[in-house]
């Protein structure tokens, strides 16, 4: 640690005082020591200030409380009172819009959170909420500062309460850039998006040593709570990247798709991709045979502006796609079944993933486009015992509660409860469309014939021929593409090549949509 420059009672002139201030500021900027900076770099990590520089527009950072120091005592703390107290807080701009930020400085007490450190975070969170601007946390901290005991724990409580108050008011993004244990893992879990970096960031409630002591399981830090674990298995992380630079660049991209707060619309941009561009490729991308898989991502690419979209939870619950994109320059949230994985079925994880996404879109005024090709909910003992009923209900609740413009499009099959849940007209979609390849039904024809014609099939001389005849009858009666349109349950059957134009026209009409929910403290959604 380098010797601290201490401001002392002083009788010099203004020039001398300014020189002293500049020296202190320079010390604050450099941080505790060259050695600590080198150690941080040696781990493949940037310092807190380097990260802030990458996140914000050049020269836009305005720091708050750089001269803050703790007043704790014991365990030698009196002799170690570094400026910033291990967290850098302030605001700047991203793509010209105000964004608040706090960044743990791992070089100071391992970025661990003490009382003064927490109060700095509380202050910047309060300012972000008051200003109605997003908050990005750059996390690289060892949790509660052990020497400060319960004061540190209380500091976390104050962060959690503010995270919850800010939820649905301003976008909150947590970027995990080091080992984040205990309290340092819970705050991100309360925020809208969690970013992680492979190898260098971890999140866990208790580390590998405690896990081994309690359960006997031996696991590495990355095996327990690394980026891939949370982006693929637990669903705690929405995004995972190989390095900090790419990760922070993607945070900037995400911010460009979000409004500053819940009273604003997401930023629109000029669009060079014609609204009337035909999607001829769509006809060959989606096989008519409902049992053949295809990649729904290619369908999305064909429809949206310049084929660009940002997938959220790209590698978790891959049987459903949640993505932010643009149509004619306006931000939309896309929820789409992925027939390539598990035939696009809805299961526990897919329901949770899409429910949180729909909720986020609704909170931040992002219209939702739902693309359906879903054979139903995944049957099975594991799913039932795992609570598919309440998890599926989360998705249902999120859609039913959403007041943003909602458009659904049935590409191919949409069966049973999954059809209802995936934003059917009956739960409040503003406009519903279908391609001429759609099959909307309670279940597939084979299953349906086995239930309703069971006796005829069993008593027939040739049960297989009878089953085939009954399947045919069921299909022609109930599963033709115009059955739902005749009943007004879809607003139109559209030519697939015109999908982009239809969606853009519909969204333009819905832009002024206004809907109020009945007054209440809050709902009681299934959890």
Ligand X SMILES: CC(=O)SCCNC(=O)CCNC(=O)[C@H](O)C(C)(C)COP(=O)(O)OP(=O)(O)OC[C@H]1O[C@@H](n2cnc3c(N)ncnc32)[C@H](O)[C@@H]1OP(=O)(O)O
What's the rounded Cα separation, in Å, for the pair 135 and 261?
A: 10
Q: Taking the CA atoms of 313, 307, 427 and 473 in sequence, report the sign of the dihedral they define.
A: negative
**C-beta closer to ligand X: residue 116 or 181:** 181
Binding of ligand X at residue 112 (CB under 6 A)? Answer: yes
- β-strand partners of 104: 87
Phi, psi at residue 435, to the nearest 5°? -85, 160
CB closest to ligand X, residue no: 110
Q: Where does this chain touch ligand X (CB under 6 A) — which range of 139-147, 339-347, 389-397, 445-453? A: 139-147
The secondary structure of the chain in percent helix, strand, coil, rounded to multiples of 5, reads 45, 20, 40
> In angstroms, what is the minimal distance from the CB of 121 to ligand X?
13
CB crowding 17-53: b at 16 or more within 10 Å, else e: eeebeeebeebbeebbeeebbeebeeeebbbbbbbbb
Binding of ligand X at residue 83 (CB under 6 A)? Answer: no
Binding of ligand X at residue 155 (CB under 6 A)? Answer: no
Binding of ligand X at residue 204 (CB under 6 A)? Answer: no
Binding of ligand X at residue 77 (CB under 6 A)? Answer: no
Binding of ligand X at residue 100 (CB under 6 A)? Answer: no
- β-strand partners of 326: 331
Q: What are the residues whose beta carbons fall under 8 Å from the beta carbon of 404, sequence distance 6 or more?
A: 361, 362, 365, 366, 367, 368, 513
What's the rounded Cα separation, in Å, for the pair 134 and 132?
A: 7
**C-beta closer to ligand X: residue 40 or 261:** 40
Q: Where does this chain touch ligand X (CB under 6 A) — which range of 5-13, 126-134, 142-150, 431-439? A: 142-150
Binding of ligand X at residue 109 (CB under 6 A)? Answer: yes
What's the rounded Cα separation, in Å, for the pair 216 and 234?
A: 21
Q: In sequence order, which ranges of 296-387 are alpha helices (DSSP H)?
A: 296-303, 348-363, 381-385
> In angstroms, what is the minimal distance from the CB of 519 to ligand X?
37
Report the Cα 331 to chain-centroid distance in Å. 15
Binding of ligand X at residue 142 (CB under 6 A)? Answer: yes
What mask, x for binding ligand X by CB under 6 A, covers residues 162 to 181?
-----------------x-x
Contact 105, 1 (CB under 8 A): no
Residues known to be catalytic:
182-183, 417-418
What mask, x for binding ligand X by CB under 6 A, covers residues 307 to 346?
----------------------------------------
> In angstroms, what is the minimal distance from the CB of 197 to ligand X?
14
Binding of ligand X at residue 104 (CB under 6 A)? Answer: no
Counting residues that bind ligand X (by CB under 6 A) gives 16
Q: Where does this chain touch ligand X (CB under 6 A) — which range of 61-69, 145-153, 290-298, 331-339? A: 145-153
Q: Which residues bind ligand X (CB under 6 A)?
A: 109-110, 112, 142-146, 153, 156, 179, 181-184, 207
């Amino acid at each position: 640690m380098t010797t601290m420059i201490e401001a002392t009672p002083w009788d010099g002139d203004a020039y001398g005082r300014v020189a002293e201030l500049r020296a202190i500021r320079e010390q604050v900027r450099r941080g505790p020591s060259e050695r600590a900076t080198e150690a941080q770099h040696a781990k493949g990590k940037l310092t807190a200030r380097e990260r802030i520089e990458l996140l914000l527009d050049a020269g836009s950072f305005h720091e708050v409380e750089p001269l803050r120091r703790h007043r704790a005592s014991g365990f030698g703390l009196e002799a170690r009172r570094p400026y910033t107290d291990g967290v850098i807080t302030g605001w700047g701009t991203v793509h010209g819009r105000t964004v608040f930020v706090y960044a743990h400085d791992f070089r100071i007490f391992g970025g661990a959170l003490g009382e003064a450190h927490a109060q700095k975070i509380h202050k910047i969170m309060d300012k972000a909420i008051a200003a109605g601007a997003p908050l990005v946390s750059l996390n690289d901290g060892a949790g509660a500062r052990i020497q400060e005991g319960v004061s540190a724990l209380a500091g976390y409580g104050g962060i959690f309460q503010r995270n919850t108050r800010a939820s649905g008011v301003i976008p909150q993004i947590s970027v995990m850039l080091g080992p984040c244990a205990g309290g340092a893992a819970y705050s991100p879990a309360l925020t809208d998006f969690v970013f992680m970096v492979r190898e260098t960031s971890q999140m866990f409630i208790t580390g590998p040593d405690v896990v081994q002591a309690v359960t006997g399981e031996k696991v590495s830090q990355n095996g327990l709570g690394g980026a891939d674990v949370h982006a693929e298995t637990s669903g705690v992380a929405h995004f995972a990247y190989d390095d900090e630079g790419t990760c922070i660049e993607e945070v900037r991209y995400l911010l460009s798709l979000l409004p500053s707060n819940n009273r604003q619309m997401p930023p629109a941009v000029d669009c060079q991709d014609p609204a009337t561009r035909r999607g001829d490729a769509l006809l060959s991308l989606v096989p008519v045979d409902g049992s053949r898989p295809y990649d729904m991502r290619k369908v999305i690419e064909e429809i949206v502006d310049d084929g660009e979209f940002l997938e959220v939870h790209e590698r978790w619950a891959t049987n459903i796609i949640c993505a932010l994109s643009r149509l004619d320059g306006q931000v939309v949230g896309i929820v789409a079944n992925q027939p390539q994985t598990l035939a696009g079925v809805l299961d526990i994880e897919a329901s949770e993933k899409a429910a949180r996404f729909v909720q986020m879109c609704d909170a931040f005024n992002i219209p939702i486009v739902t693309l359906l090709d879903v054979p139903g909910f995944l049957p099975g003992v594991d799913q039932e015992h795992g609570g598919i009923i309440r998890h599926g209900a989360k998705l249902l609740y999120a859609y039913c509660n959403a007041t943003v413009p909602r458009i659904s499009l049935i590409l191919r099959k949409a069966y049973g409860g999954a059809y209802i849940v995936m934003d059917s007209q009956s739960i409040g979609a503003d406009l519903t469309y279908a391609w001429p390849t759609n099959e909307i039904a309670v279940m597939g024809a084979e299953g349906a014939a086995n239930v309703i014609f069971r006796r005829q099939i069993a008593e027939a001389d040739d049960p297989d021929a009878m089953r085939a005849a009954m399947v045919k009858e069921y299909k022609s009666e109930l599963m033709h593409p115009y059955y739902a349109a005749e009943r007004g349950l879809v607003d139109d059957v559209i030519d697939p090549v015109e999908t982009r134009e239809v969606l853009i026209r519909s969204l333009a009409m819905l832009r002024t949509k206004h809907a109020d929910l009945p007054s209440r403290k809050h709902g009681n959604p299934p959890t």
